[in-house]
Amino acid sequence: MGDGDQTETRETQRKPRSRARFELKREAILDAAADLINLHGARGATLQEVAKAVGLNTTSVTYYFRRKELLAAAVFERSLDRLKTMVGEAAAEGDARARVARFIRLHIELRAKVIRGAEKPLVVLSDIRTLDEDLRRALLARYLEVFNSVRAFWAPHASDDHRELCTARAHMLLEVVFWLPVWLARYAINDFGRVGRRIGAVLEEGLAVPGAKWTPRFYGEDEIRAAMPPQDAAAENFLRVATRLINESGYRGASVLRIVEELNVTKGSFYHHLDAKDDLVLECFRQSYKRVAVGQWLAHRDGGNEWERLTWAIASLLDIQFRAEWPLTRTTALQALPAQLRAEVVRRSDRIALRFMGTLVDGAREGSLNSVDPMIASQLILSTLNSAFDLKGWAARMPREKAIAFYASTLANGLFDDAVLGMQRAAVGE
C-alpha cells in the first residue's frame, strides 16, 4: 500500500472543523460500508449506496474517502484491528486449550451483541482479495500477522512438522469463527453458551473414537465425475477456470474477460453456454455441491462403517481442494449473488450438511464416531473442507497424503492431539 493511500484509509487529507464530529461521521460511513460489504460483497458497497445509508450525498462521502477502494480498505483494516484484539485477549490464557476456548467464546459473545444491536459484526475478510494490488498486499500482510498470532496459541512448536500441523489448526479455527455467523442465528441467544461449549467439544475431542485408524481411500476427480451426469466439455472448462478464479480473486477477479483469455476462446462462446456472470457463479456452486454429494455417496457405498465413510469423503474432497485444478467453490462468493440465487446455494449447502449429520448420528450409534452435536459438527466439517483451497500452497510443501492427514486431523482428532505426527513418522519409516 502506498504511503498516500495508507494515510487516506486512516485520515482525510483535509483538516476537519470538528475532530469529534468528523470521527463520528467517519465511523458511520465505515459502519454502513461494512454492512453493505457483508450483504453484497465489496462490489455492492458503492459510494452512492453508502451515502444513501448515512443520509449524505456522494460528494460528502468523498470528503472522507476519495475512492470506493480506499473506503473498503478502511473497513477491512478496522475489522482486522478488532480481530487482532480478540486474538490478543485469547492469547493471554495459560495454554492452547484455554486460548481456543476463549477465542470461540469471544466470537459467540460478539454474535449475541450483534443480534441485540449492541455491536457491529466483523466484515467478511475474504473480499480483501478483490482490492487493487497495493491495498490488498498491505491488508493481507496484516491478516498474516493475525494468523501467526493464532498459530502461536500452540507455541512453542516442537518441530517443523508440528509447526505445519499448527498452521492447519490455526486456519481451521479461523474458518470456524468466520463461518459462525452463517448458521449461529438458527439458535436462540439463550442457547449460544451451549453452542459454544459444543463447538469446543468437537475441537477438543475430534470426531474419532480412541483407537480409530486413519486409512483414507481417495476417490479421484475422474471417479467422482464419472458418477455424475455427462457435462458439455466446453461448459465444464468454463466452470473449472471460473471456480479457480473466484476462489483466488473473488467475484470481480473472475471476469468474463479473464476466463475467455485463459481458455483462449471468444466472449461469444462464453455467452453461448451461460447467459450472465451470476449464472456462472450459481452453476459453479451447483457443480461443487454435486461433486461433494457424489463423494459422500461413493464413501457411503464402499465404507464398512461410518468412520470410514466420513474419513474417505473428507480425504477425497481435501484432495480435490489441494490439487486446486478444479476446486470446490468458496462460499465467500455467496455475497456476489442476488438474494434469490443465494438462497438456492444455502439450501444445497444445508443438504450436504444433513448428509454429514446422518453419518455422525449413525457413527455415534455404532460406536465408530464420537458422540457430538451433529448439526454443529457438520457445520465445522463444511467450513473446514470449503476453506482448504486457501491452504493449497501450504499443502504443496509436503506430500499430499501428509498434508491431507494433517488438515483432516483437525476434525478427526481435534486441535490438541499430536498423534498424527507419529503416524506420519511411522509412514516414512523414521
- Cα–Cα distance measured from residue 138 to residue 134, given in angstroms and rounded to the nearest whole number: 7
DSSP symbol at 378? H
Residue that the C-alpha cell 451433529 belongs to: 374
Per-residue pLDDT band for 314 (boundaries 50, 70, 90) equals very high
Overall average pLDDT of the 99-122 stretch: 96
- Span of 65-79, 82-96, 294-308, 414-428 with lowest mean pLDDT: 414-428
Bridge partners of 46, per DSSP, are: none
What pLDDT sits at residue 139? 96
Nine cell digits for residue 248: 483466488
Q: Which three cell numbers stand for residue 314?
A: 473428507
How far apart CA 416 and CA 166 sit, in angstroms, is 9
Beta-carbon contacts of residue 200 (< 8 Å; ≥ 6 apart): 100, 101, 104
pLDDT exceeds 90 at position 182: no
Average pLDDT, the chain: 88
Alpha-carbon gap, residue 237 to 326, rounded angstroms: 9
* Contact indicator for 164, 398 with CB cutoff of 8 Å: yes
- Per the structure block, which three cell numbers stand in for 139? 491488508
C-alpha cell belonging to residue 17: 472543523
Per mean pLDDT, which of 136-150, 256-270, 319-333 is the most reliable? 136-150
CA 61 from chain centre, in angstroms, equals 31
Closest to 303 measured CA to CA, from 228, 226, 370, 219: 219
Q: How confident is the model at residue 40 (pLDDT cuts 50, 70, 90)?
A: confident
* Strand ranges for 278-325 from DSSP E: none
Q: What are phi and psi of 103, to 5 degrees?
A: -60, -45
Would you say the C-alpha torsion 64, 69, 72, 77 has a positive or negative sign? negative
Q: Is residue 336 classed exposed, middle or buried when 0-12, 13-18 and 19+ CB atoms within 10 A define those classes?
A: buried
> Given this model, what pLDDT does residue 10 score?
47
Per-residue model confidence (pLDDT) at position 65:
93
Least Cα distance to 68 among 119, 135, 15, 23 occurs for: 135
pLDDT at 12: 46
- DSSP string of 147-166? HHHHHGGGPSPSSHHHHHHH
Q: What is the distance, to the nearest Å, from the Cα of residue 385 to the centroid of all Cα atoms in its chain?
A: 9
Q: Please enumerate in sequence order all residues whose Cβ is within 8 A of that of 241, keeping only pairs 6 or more positions apart, or say none.
A: 259, 262, 263
Task: Give per-residue pLDDT as tens, 275-284.
Answer: 666 778 888 8
Nearest CA-CA partner of 162 in 416, 428, 430, 429: 416
Position 9 confidence tier, pLDDT thresholds 50, 70, 90: very low
From 6-20, 99-113, 143-157, 226-240, the region with the lowest mean pLDDT: 6-20
CA–CA separation, 312 and 414 (whole Å): 17
Contact 384, 320 (CB under 8 A): no
- In the predicted model, is pLDDT for residue 348 greater than 60? yes
User: Using CA atoms in the order 143, 322, 324, 287, what is the torsion angle rounded to 10 degrees?
Assistant: -100
SS3 content of the chain, % helix, strand, coil (to 5): 75, 0, 25
Residue 253: band (very low, low, confident or very high) from pLDDT cuts 50, 70, 90: low
